[in-house]
Structure 1
């Protein structure tokens, strides 16, 4: 079962990625046969196969890594082959030297693996043929260049929508956490209820990490993308939202922790707590309002949203019961920070 899991992934790559890779390999093969005297342009096909990546930026980086590795491998193989020939032990020694050189130069994993592979192929397929090594370098340039062009021309994939969905989901879950805290302050809670509240709040951290990762992937997908200027506006809005969310996540978890640690059944009878509960519900409403995506009816209540945010001015707190002042003070400070992030004060 473990072996099968390692071989398979939960989601297939986009079919467009498969088409682009196939087209790049085919064009690289044909172009190399037309431009270079080679029956089997293996280096061009391998370059195209490995260089096509989900984004243009990643494709450019992989093209540089791939080409650098091939050049390094060809140089090492040609030098050793010229002096020592092509015997079996020479090929083995060349591979070991290539691995050592890649390690000494601190090359990336792609370049580090490409150097010994290229060196081995050059020695095995024709190091003694005049001009063979140089032709393989040209061949790699052809394959990598065609892959880069294909990835830029055929609908470069952008990851704006996944980023927007991740940010919106996180914002709505933070709002749900505020609503759950407000409800817990108004109604009696059992220890199991408080524990469930804490568990759900802790899930905000991995969701925040996923949102940041999605934003970074979206940023990367736009680099060197011809449609960058047109798509940038939507990503900027999500990026602005992610600047608010870390503080809101921290405060949501902090309020949940304070409620979990200092909860008392008599807490619901505190006048300040009831007012705080109402204000926290307003904060949840306003956060949903900020996170609303055009056309997304799940992000806001069905009733028409007001033109302005619902949060009021900071509450005036009467002196609480001595058993409750630590919790109420902690909640109020967290609410103050929440209000600053949502209203923008």
Structure 2
């Protein structure tokens, strides 16, 4: 039986994270039983379950959120229980008060949701003495601390592969876009082919945003990570590459838009079109040299490349037809700026 799509995640959680969550939960349970044998360590187990996250930084944040939420919830439940005893309606009152408490202090969702849950559990278990409340707080701190420790000690996650993959794919697609643009400048184009060229160029922006998002996740995975010194340079190189690619994305889209809007059948008769197309192919070649880790998929369109840069430094353009000089001038200026980004000027 296949579950509905809204119940399924786009991808599985890494098996290593599942193992670490299990280890943290078991250790939190055993340690809490050893230190606080009077009650089942439910709070410790829940804390450990929630604290193990895809990055050490996220684990630390969850630990703080969980601890703040539990402390506030236990205190609210204890005070309300002492004032109104243990009637059933007191649980509902504690939940409502906890919800408004989180709203009043503008707490993060993790803490705001944890407050009423903790208050409800404390009152539902029927123990409202200060000693019980203190034990539940200590128990939660044990689970949260073990969740962070386990995430740090057992292969702390480093999210560099997605950043390098997405940046590499963007580099490859940029090179392919330059190649397609070179073909469009030297062969007759229909309106449908120009529209397709424009659509493909516009897809560069979401690819750039995806690469930037992956780099941000990579930076977060290195925060508070004991392995960060061994991986920081790789992530910085990837980030610098994306910084160089960003204006190239804008230039390629602009060149494609200019061709789309000003194309006519006589354009390919301009002698300079072939020269510009040659430079676009050279730019595509040298662009791939910036990202040695680009992974080609089976249907990748990126051109094959050797190891030496081939971009020329100057290009002489013959005087174009009056109807084409605006387009050619625009293409040349964008090509010049792409050249500067690639060579690092």
Q: TM-score, normalised by structure 1?
A: 0.95
Q: Give the Cα separation in 2 of the matches to 1:126 and 1:88.
A: 10
- The answer for the alignment partner of 1:66 in structure 2 is 66
| 1:86 matches 2:93 | no
In structure 2, the residue corresponding to 1:331 is in which secondary structure? helix
SS of structure 2 residue aligned to 1:37: coil
Change over 3 Å in CA distance of 1:185–1:283 after alignment to 2: same
Q: Deviations over 1:31-68 (max 9, x none)?
A: 00000133311000000001110010000000000000
Alignment of 1:104-143 (within 5 A): 104-129=104-129, 131-143=131-143
Match of 2:23 in 1: 23
RMSD of aligned residue pairs (Cα, Å) = 2.0
Deviations 1:47-101 (A, max 9, x none): 0001110010000000000000000101111111111111111111110000001
The 8 Å contact of residues 126 and 132 in structure 1, kept in 2 or not, is answered as no
Q: Residues 263, 303 of structure 1: CA spacing in aligned structure 2 closer, same or farther, 3 A cutoff?
A: closer
Residue 312 of structure 1, CA deviation: 1.1
Deviation at 1:127? 2.9
Please list, as runs of the form range in 1=range in 2, the aligned pairs for 1:47-62 lying within 5 A after superposition: 47-62=47-62
Match of 1:101 in 2: 101
1:223 Cα deviation after fit: 1.1
User: Per-residue displacement from partner, 1:207-258 (whole Å, max 9, x unpaired)?
Assistant: 0010000001111111111111111121111011010111011111111111
Provide the residue aligned with 1:211 in structure 2: 211
SS at structure 2 position matched to 1:291: coil
- 1:312 and 2:282 matched: no
Counterparts in 2 of 1:303 and 1:65: CA distance versus 1, 3 Å: closer
Deviation at 1:128, TM superposition (A): 3.0
Offset, 1:301: 5.9
Verify the 8 A CA contact 2:165 2:295 in the aligned structure 1.
no
Question: What TM-score comes out, normalization by structure 2 length?
Answer: 0.95
2:333 and 2:81 map into 1 onto residues whose CA distance is 73
In the alignment, the residues of structure 2 paired with residue 279 and residue 270 of structure 1 have an alpha-carbon distance, to the nearest angstrom, of 15
Matches within 5 A, 1:34-49: 34-49=34-49
Say whether the 8 Å CA contact 1:289–1:299 is kept in structure 2.
Answer: no
- Residues 114, 303 of structure 1: alpha-carbon distance in 2 compared, 3 angstrom cutoff: closer
Change (3 A) 1:302 1:336: closer
Distance in 2 between residues matched to 1:299 and 1:224, nearest whole Å: 39
Mapping of residues 1-345 of structure 1, within 5 Å: 4-129=4-129, 131-293=131-293, 304-306=306-308, 309-345=309-345
| SS of residue in 2 equivalent to 1:131 | helix
* Distance (whole Å) between structure 1 residues aligned to residue 99 and residue 35 of structure 2: 31
Q: Deviations over 1:143-183 (max 9, x none)?
A: 00000000001111111111101000001100100010001
The CA distance in 1 between the partners of 2:288 and 2:93, in whole Å, is 64
In structure 1, the gaps of 5 or more residues are: none
- On the 8 A contact 2:173/2:302 being kept in 1, the answer is no
